[in-house]
Amino acid sequence: MILIGYLSHRKNPRTVKQAYYFAVAAQKENAEFLFFSPKGIDIANRKINGYILVKNQWKKVERRFPDVIFNHGNPGKMAHSQDKIDVLKQEIPFTSHSIGSKMTVYYRLKEAKTFSEYLIPSITVYSPKDVLNALNKYKKIVFKPNDGHKGIGVTFIDKLPKGYSVKVDHQKFIYNEAQLMRFVKQRIRGKKHLIQPCINSKTRYGVPFDLRLHVQKDGNGEWKVALIYARVARNNSFVTNLSSGGSRVPIEKFLRQQYPKEYSAMKKRLERFALDLARHMDEIQQQVHSETLDELGIDIGIDQNKHFWIYEVNWRPGLPHALFGKVGAERTMIQYTIYLAKQHKSHLNNR
């Protein structure tokens, strides 16, 4: 029986809701699912102290080193145990690998050119003057952290006939140039930021939206679309993220409302785009790091000309909590994890 290790920065599986659904999926695939944190790694004895699911209850156990490790923990919160994790990486395949920051992904896609037409021009902010220059060029910009998530810190800045409109954290301010410079200077202190021109990705009713294209590898190591959904900003909000109050809308419902005459063609176009970009990102990852990817969350906008724009690509996208155990994503990931373990074993046997 294949032993799947699930590495988390959390010590207790009861605090990781989705771990339960992964464990159930593993049982259906005749594999054992071992939840553990860095604290449970015993390098000297080649053992892992963790938890398995027995009759819907988590039971503490000791097991051998896993055949494959599903690394789902926060890297920053496990940095203090990196030495132990690196020992495991030397002999056990890991499912997930970082694709880098927003700007790293941007430059790699830009250099590769295949998807360059879908990239939003992005500029790293080194000083407040960079923001002024961008506003003079684009009039409306997005100013956000390079390593941000869940829409936190995303700021929309518009150049007005007199002054600047600054929208951040559900608030709106009117600044003069000096006030704007102070705001930017404070934001970039100790934290890298980037600038992008605003994309007019709005519904027929003028509400901002974006789409999440969630792709995964299956039990044959092939990319498949797990889920696509729209995120629509709430009233008087500027960001679409669910954590910021945005609404999740099933893609079928959204497309029928937004593009009633070309619903089917648009859905196929989105699916093809998601799979093509995933394969392309996978190729880049193999070329740069000799690593393969397991899943991606691709966030895009669609402008008034129906052109796709890539907002960002996430290498550990996760699912909205309401969808845990409901769309088959956990089982697909377990099937890929088993595939990875078998591929690794075959490689060792053929040495």
Q: In what order do the strands lie in the sheet with 140-145?
A: 123-125, 193-197, 140-145, 155-159, 164-168, 171-175
CATH number of the domain bearing residue 294: 3.30.470.20
Average pLDDT over residues 10-20: 96
Last residue of a domain, one of 146, 179, 197: 197
* Cβ burial, residue 308 (10 Å; 0-12/13-18/19+): buried
Lowest-confidence pick of 113-122, 292-301, 341-350: 341-350
- pLDDT of 242 > 90? The answer is no
Which pLDDT band, with edges at 50, 70 and 90, does 285 fall under?
very high
Residue 326 lies in a domain: no
- pLDDT of 239 > 70? The answer is no
Last residue of a domain, one of 162, 197, 232: 197
Q: Which candidate, 330, 194, 211, places its Cα nearest to that of 270?
A: 211
Give yes or no: residues 243 and 130 share one domain. no
Give yes or no: residues 184 and 248 share one domain. no
- The per-residue pLDDT for 349 is 85
Residue 325 lies in a domain: no
- The per-residue pLDDT for 246 is 76
What mean pLDDT is reported for the chain? 93
What is residue 38's DSSP assignment? G
pLDDT, tens digit (0-9, with 9 covering 90-100), for 47-102: 999 999 999 999 999 999 999 999 988 988 999 999 999 999 999 999 999 999 88
Average pLDDT over residues 321-332: 93
Last residue of a domain, one of 153, 178, 197: 197
pLDDT, tens digit (0-9, with 9 covering 90-100), for 101-112: 888 999 999 999
- pLDDT of 33 > 70? The answer is yes
CA dist., res. 143 & res. 239, Å (int): 12
Give yes or no: residues 136 and 276 share one domain. no
Give yes or no: residues 227 and 286 share one domain. yes
Give yes or no: residues 250 and 111 share one domain. yes
Give yes or no: residues 110 and 237 share one domain. yes
CA dist., res. 97 & res. 76, Å (int): 14
User: Domain containing 182: what range?
Assistant: 123-197
- pLDDT of 238 > 70? The answer is no
pLDDT, tens digit (0-9, with 9 covering 90-100), for 127-178: 999 999 999 999 999 999 987 666 678 999 999 999 999 998 888 999 999 9
Residue 323 lies in a domain: no
What's the structural domain count of the chain?
Answer: 3
Which pLDDT band, with edges at 50, 70 and 90, does 126 fall under?
very high
Structure tokens of 187?
A: 């934001």
- The per-residue pLDDT for 102 is 87
- The per-residue pLDDT for 30 is 98
Give yes or no: residues 83 and 180 share one domain. no
- The per-residue pLDDT for 152 is 78
For 117, 124, 192, 297, 331, the CA distances from 102, given in Å and listed in that order, are: 17, 10, 11, 13, 29
Give yes or no: residues 113 and 170 share one domain. no
CATH number of the domain bearing residue 64: 3.40.50.20
Which pLDDT band, with edges at 50, 70 and 90, does 236 fall under?
low
- The per-residue pLDDT for 9 is 96
- The per-residue pLDDT for 147 is 78
What is residue 96's DSSP assignment? -
pTM: 0.91
